[in-house]
Chain A
Amino acid sequence: MFHIKPIISTLLRSKSGPLLLLAQIILSVAIVANASFIINERLALMSRDSGVAEDEVFDINIYNFGAGIDYGLQNSLDMQIIRDIPGVKAATSTSMTPLSGGGWSSTLTYGPSEESHKSAPQAAMYYGDEQMMEAMGVKLIEGRNFYPEEVQVGHPDSATKVILSKAFATHVFGEQSPIGQTLYAGGWGEQALEVIGVVEKLQGAWVNSSHLDNAMILNVELGLWPFTKFLVRADAGAMTELKPLITAALHQENKDRVIDGFRMISEHRQRVYQSHELMASVLSMMVILLLMITSLGLTGMVMFNIERRTKQIGTRRALGAKKRDIVSFFLVENYLIALVGGVIGGLLAVQLGQQLMSLYDLPKLALVYPVVTVAGLFVLTTIAVVFPARKAAKISPAIATRTV
Chain B
Amino acid sequence: MFIYYLDLAWRSIKNTPLLSLLMVLAISIGIGITITTLNIYQMASVNPAGERSSVLYEVRLWSQEADSWDEMNPQITYQDGFNLRQSDIPTRQTPMFMTGMAIQTEDPKQAPLLESARVSDSDFFALFSIPFIYGGPWDKAIDKEPGYQVVIRADLNQELFGGQNSVGKVLYLNQKPYKVAGVIDDWKPSPKYYDVNNGAFNDSERLYVPYSLAPIEEYQSWGNNQSWKNESIVTYQDKLASETHWNQYWVELNTPEQKQAYEQWLEGYIAQQQLLGRFASDSPYADISDVSEWLVINKVVPEDSKVLVGLSALFLIVCLVNMLGLLLAKFLKRAPEVGVRRAIGASRTQIFMQHMVEVGVVGFWGGLIGLIWAAVSLSVLSSRFGLEESLTQLDMSMWIIAPTVAITSALVAGLYPAWQICIANPSSHLKSQ
The answer to whether A27 and B311 touch across the interface, beta carbons within 8 angstroms, is no
The answer to whether A21 and B325 touch across the interface, beta carbons within 8 angstroms, is yes
CB-CB < 8 A to A157: which residues of B?
232, 234
CA gap between A301 and B325 in the complex, in Å: 7
The answer to whether B26 and A297 touch across the interface, beta carbons within 8 angstroms, is yes
CB-CB < 8 A to B36: which residues of A?
282
B329 contacts chain A at the CB level, 8 A cutoff: yes
A-contacting residues, B311-330, CB 8 Å: 311-312, 314-315, 317-319, 321-322, 324-326, 328-329
CB-CB < 8 A to A173: which residues of B?
none
CB-CB < 8 A to B375: which residues of A?
none
> Among the listed B112, B307, B332, which residue makes an inter-chain contact with A258, where contact means beta carbons less than 8 Å apart?
B112
Give 4 closest A-B pairs by Cβ, nearest first: A304-B329, A65-B102, A297-B322, A258-B114
- How many chain A residues touch B (CB < 8 A): the figure is 59
CB-CB < 8 A to B310: which residues of A?
356
Please give me the residue from chain A that is nearest to B304 by CB atom. Answer: A279
Most buried by B among A28, A35, A38, A289: A289
User: Which one, A45-53, A195-203, A270-278, A385-393, is touching chain B?
Assistant: A270-278
6 contacts between A and B (CB under 8 A): A27-B314, A157-B232, A256-B102, A275-B302, A281-B385, A293-B30
CB-CB < 8 A to B113: which residues of A?
258
B-contacting residues, A268-315, CB 8 Å: 271, 274-275, 277-279, 281-283, 285-286, 289-290, 293-294, 296-297, 300-301, 303-304, 307-308
A2 contacts chain B at the CB level, 8 A cutoff: no
A257 contacts chain B at the CB level, 8 A cutoff: yes
The answer to whether A293 and B26 touch across the interface, beta carbons within 8 angstroms, is yes
Contact A27 B318, CB 8 Å, known A20-B324, A403-B432:
yes
B101 contacts chain A at the CB level, 8 A cutoff: yes
CB-CB < 8 A to A282: which residues of B?
36-37, 308, 381
Q: A155-B234, A258-B112 are in contact. List 13 more A-B contacts (CB 8 A).
A: A20-B325, A227-B220, A257-B102, A257-B112, A258-B102, A281-B385, A283-B311, A285-B33, A294-B318, A297-B321, A297-B322, A307-B333, A360-B307
B260 contacts chain A at the CB level, 8 A cutoff: no
The answer to whether B385 and A35 touch across the interface, beta carbons within 8 angstroms, is no
Main secondary structure of the interface of A (DSSP, over half): helix
B387 contacts chain A at the CB level, 8 A cutoff: yes
B49–chain A nearest beta-carbon distance, Å: 25
B-contacting residues, A335-363, CB 8 Å: 356, 359-362
> Among the listed B312, B322, B329, B385, which residue makes an inter-chain contact with A286, where contact means beta carbons less than 8 Å apart?
B312
CB-CB < 8 A to A362: which residues of B?
303, 307
CA gap between A362 and B308 in the complex, in Å: 13
CA gap between A54 and B239 in the complex, in Å: 35
B29 contacts chain A at the CB level, 8 A cutoff: yes
Most buried by B among A66, A257, A282, A285: A282
B352–chain A nearest beta-carbon distance, Å: 17
Please give me the residue from chain B that is nearest to A34 by CB atom. Answer: B311
The answer to whether B26 and A296 touch across the interface, beta carbons within 8 angstroms, is yes
A143 contacts chain B at the CB level, 8 A cutoff: no
CA gap between A275 and B200 in the complex, in Å: 14
B22 contacts chain A at the CB level, 8 A cutoff: yes
A235 contacts chain B at the CB level, 8 A cutoff: no
B341 contacts chain A at the CB level, 8 A cutoff: no
Most buried by B among A66, A67, A297, A360: A297
The answer to whether A63 and B317 touch across the interface, beta carbons within 8 angstroms, is no
B386 contacts chain A at the CB level, 8 A cutoff: yes
The answer to whether B230 and A186 touch across the interface, beta carbons within 8 angstroms, is yes
CB-CB < 8 A to A31: which residues of B?
311, 314-315, 318
CB-CB < 8 A to A303: which residues of B?
329
CA gap between A227 and B416 in the complex, in Å: 68
CA gap between A225 and B222 in the complex, in Å: 12
The answer to whether A300 and B318 touch across the interface, beta carbons within 8 angstroms, is no
B420 contacts chain A at the CB level, 8 A cutoff: yes
CA gap between A278 and B386 in the complex, in Å: 10
B175 contacts chain A at the CB level, 8 A cutoff: yes
The answer to whether A293 and B318 touch across the interface, beta carbons within 8 angstroms, is yes
CB-CB < 8 A to A403: which residues of B?
432
B306 contacts chain A at the CB level, 8 A cutoff: yes
B75–chain A nearest beta-carbon distance, Å: 16
CB-CB < 8 A to B319: which residues of A?
293
Contact A279 B324, CB 8 Å, known A63-B102, A307-B333:
no
The answer to whether B322 and A24 touch across the interface, beta carbons within 8 angstroms, is yes
The answer to whether A65 and B302 touch across the interface, beta carbons within 8 angstroms, is no
The answer to whether A290 and B175 touch across the interface, beta carbons within 8 angstroms, is no
Binary flags per residue of B4-46, CB closer than 8 Å to A gives 1, else 0: 0000000000000001001000100110010011000000000
Binary flags per residue of A145-160, CB closer than 8 Å to B gives 1, else 0: 0000000000101000
CA gap between A20 and B328 in the complex, in Å: 10
The answer to whether B102 and A35 touch across the interface, beta carbons within 8 angstroms, is no
A360–chain B nearest beta-carbon distance, Å: 4
A17 contacts chain B at the CB level, 8 A cutoff: yes
A238 contacts chain B at the CB level, 8 A cutoff: no
B281 contacts chain A at the CB level, 8 A cutoff: no
A344–chain B nearest beta-carbon distance, Å: 14
Please give me the residue from chain B that is nearest to A42 by CB atom. Answer: B304
The answer to whether A278 and B230 touch across the interface, beta carbons within 8 angstroms, is no
The answer to whether A65 and B322 touch across the interface, beta carbons within 8 angstroms, is no
The answer to whether B304 and A275 touch across the interface, beta carbons within 8 angstroms, is yes
A231 contacts chain B at the CB level, 8 A cutoff: no
CB-CB < 8 A to B174: which residues of A?
65, 67, 226
> Among the listed A24, A190, A356, which residue makes an inter-chain contact with B307, where contact means beta carbons less than 8 Å apart?
A356
CB-CB < 8 A to B101: which residues of A?
65
CA gap between A301 and B333 in the complex, in Å: 13
The answer to whether B307 and A256 touch across the interface, beta carbons within 8 angstroms, is no
CA gap between A257 and B100 in the complex, in Å: 13
A260 contacts chain B at the CB level, 8 A cutoff: yes
B-contacting residues, A58-97, CB 8 Å: 63, 65-67
Contact A30 B314, CB 8 Å, known A66-B175, A289-B33, A297-B322:
yes
A116 contacts chain B at the CB level, 8 A cutoff: no
CB-CB < 8 A to A290: which residues of B?
315, 318
Please give me the residue from chain A that is nearest to B323 by CB atom. Answer: A297
Please give me the residue from chain A that is nearest to B22 by CB atom. Answer: A296
B170–chain A nearest beta-carbon distance, Å: 16
Please give me the residue from chain A that is nearest to B176 by CB atom. Answer: A67
A-contacting residues, B201-250, CB 8 Å: 220, 230, 232, 234
CB-CB < 8 A to A66: which residues of B?
175
CB-CB < 8 A to B220: which residues of A?
225-227
CA gap between A281 and B383 in the complex, in Å: 14
Contact A16 B317, CB 8 Å, known A187-B230, A258-B102:
no
CA gap between A40 and B333 in the complex, in Å: 43
Contact A286 B315, CB 8 Å, known A38-B307, A227-B220:
yes
A-contacting residues, B363-417, CB 8 Å: 377, 381, 384-387, 416
Please give me the residue from chain B that is nearest to A35 by CB atom. Answer: B311
CB-CB < 8 A to B114: which residues of A?
63, 258, 260
The answer to whether A17 and B325 touch across the interface, beta carbons within 8 angstroms, is yes
CA gap between A361 and B302 in the complex, in Å: 11
B138–chain A nearest beta-carbon distance, Å: 22
